Structure 1
Amino acid sequence: MATAINVQSSCSAEEWKARQRLAACYRIFAYLGWDEMIFNHITLKVPGEDDAFLINPYGLHFSEVSASTLVKIDIDGNTLDGSTYPINKAGFTQHSLFHRELPDVHAIIHTHTTATMAVSSIEGGLQPINFYAAAVVPRLAYHKFEGITVHEDEGPRFLASLGKKRMMML
């Protein structure tokens, strides 16, 4: 069984602050019910390290994620902080692509809420039938679901689907 390591003493103050904020984000998502078992991911670039980001350990629910359990990995999937926790290959495949190809993106959220899964299943997707939807529709891209994202060759299609937008539904 993997255990949390003492990362606070081995990381910069900026990284520790980022870890705390990201862990709080996970807890807020859990509180709001914006999680689904253990198959969701929120990543954050490590301040001052362009090719490193923090990701949740595979097997922990959002409500269990802490600053110390977050895993620091590089863009190639190498663990950088000595964590023994595994990471979800699908989470790594998607997030490393976007962190590598979109340098202005510092945080990425991938979640399966009941509402977004329902909208993703409807032909035509989100419809601008109220104020909130109308505000989102112009910023929203779609990508045809190709199965669990573990194949790097889907990356160019992800980027093409996203274009200049910053939200995407599969």
Structure 2
Amino acid sequence: MSSGWKKMSSSSPVPEKPVDHDRQRYPYCIVWTPLPVITWLIPIIGHMGICTSAGVIRDFAGPYFVSEDNMAFGRPTMYWQLSPSKAESSTWDDSVHQASEEYGHRMHNLCCDNCHSHVARALNLMRYNGSSSWNMFKLGLLVILYGKFTGVGGFLKTWLPFMILCLLIVIVVVLATVVPRAE
């Protein structure tokens, strides 16, 4: 495991600006929300954005478009607040802006160059936590490990469809084994 991974912890210094769920303000955060159908089947896959120091969400929402303050798939259900003091090579907002400008001129690719890649680009530009090797897989894992749900509603929006789907599968399997087949 690289030293960049070992340094990450949920106990890093928290910025002085608080999170405001009602106004959707997440200063210095990476935010996450479920993708319809995909997250219902695989709950750890979702849509990601990065927020400015003022908490304004920027997300690579589709081809040639970076959304500002209106996340493509709805309100965040999870967030991971980072420490701006770990941005080494430029200011937090400059890096978020530069990554957003760059991704505003890119084609969106679900598997290779997507919203996670946009966030990774911003973190690489600022050399967050001394690293320039941020990528969509690393971010996906770390947001799941260190992210906090925005509340009970955020947890339910993320996990309830998957739990219902699992329950339906269990019911079908049980019924298939209990109910005799007509021959």
TM-score, length-scaled by structure 2:
0.24
TM-score, length-scaled by structure 1:
0.25
